[in-house]
């Protein structure tokens, strides 16, 4: 926890000088890619590509820890400082780390380009030093009708992950 706070504090200092970007390199057994985060006022622009996926929707979440000592498993649960239920990116009731789904085309590549108004590159919703995880299946956005849906979105196993760092 201290490590994440220290990284966010460092980023706040750097950001005062005009830097407002972070990046993560996603690695897994079959998947790889890079995602960048650009602070644009109150929102964050998320762009990148992840390849090696099966075609279709894949859960896409910021997890609480930047610990990958045991692969993606050690990244912990979704980043959820307000202790809310899992939900869609547009929902009032959602984890800060709930970014919904990305869609891989027939070529197995997810091309990512959207904004989010809840995550941040500074402050209490800072994602610096946390893990970005791409999941095996579709995130049901908390509408699966069971307890696990309200925790994880039933998105399945963790295919790839990486720690978000300052660019």
Tens of pLDDT along the chain (167 residues)? 555 555 555 545 444 443 499 999 999 999 999 999 999 999 999 999 999 999 999 999 999 999 999 999 999 999 999 999 999 999 999 999 999 999 999 999 999 999 999 999 999 999 999 999 999 999 999 999 999 999 999 999 999 999 999 98
Q: What are residue 98's DSSP bridge partners?
A: 61
The total domain count for the chain is 1
* Other CB atoms within 10 A of residue 128 CB: 24
Identify the domain containing residue 84 by its residue range.
2-166
Residue 167's pLDDT is 81
- Active-site residue identified among 58, 64, 78, 139: 78
* Residue owning tokens 């970007």: 21
Q: Is 125 a catalytic residue?
A: no
Residue 7's pLDDT is 52
Q: Is 86 a catalytic residue?
A: yes
Q: Is 58 a catalytic residue?
A: no
121 closest CA partner among 24, 1, 50, 2? 24
User: SS in 3 state form for 96-113?
Assistant: CCEEEEEEECCCCCEEEE
CATH number, domain containing residue 72: 2.60.40.200
- Active-site residue identified among 58, 125, 130, 158: 158
Q: Is 63 a catalytic residue?
A: yes
- Active-site residue identified among 58, 94, 95, 130: 95
Q: Is 158 a catalytic residue?
A: yes
Residue 2's pLDDT is 53
pTM of the model: 0.90
């Amino acid at each position: 926890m201290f490590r994440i706070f220290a990284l966010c504090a460092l980023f706040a200092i750097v950001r005062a000088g005009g830097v407002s970007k972070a990046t993560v390199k996603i690695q897994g057994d079959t998947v790889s890619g890079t995602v960048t985060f650009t602070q644009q006022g109150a929102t964050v622009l998320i762009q990148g590509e992840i390849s090696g996926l099966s075609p279709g929707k894949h859960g896409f979440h910021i997890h609480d820890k930047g610990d990958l000592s045991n692969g993606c498993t050690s990244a912990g649960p979704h980043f959820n400082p307000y202790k809310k239920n899992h939900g869609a990116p547009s929902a009032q009731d959602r984890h800060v780390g709930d970014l919904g789904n990305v869609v891989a085309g027939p070529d197995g590549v997810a091309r990512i380009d959207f904004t989010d108004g809840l995550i941040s590159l500074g402050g209490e919703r800072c994602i610096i030093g946390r893990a970005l995880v791409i999941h095996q299946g579709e995130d049901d956005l908390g509408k699966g009708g069971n307890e696990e849906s309200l925790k994880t979105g039933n998105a399945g196993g963790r295919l790839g992950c990486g720690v978000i760092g300052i660019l």
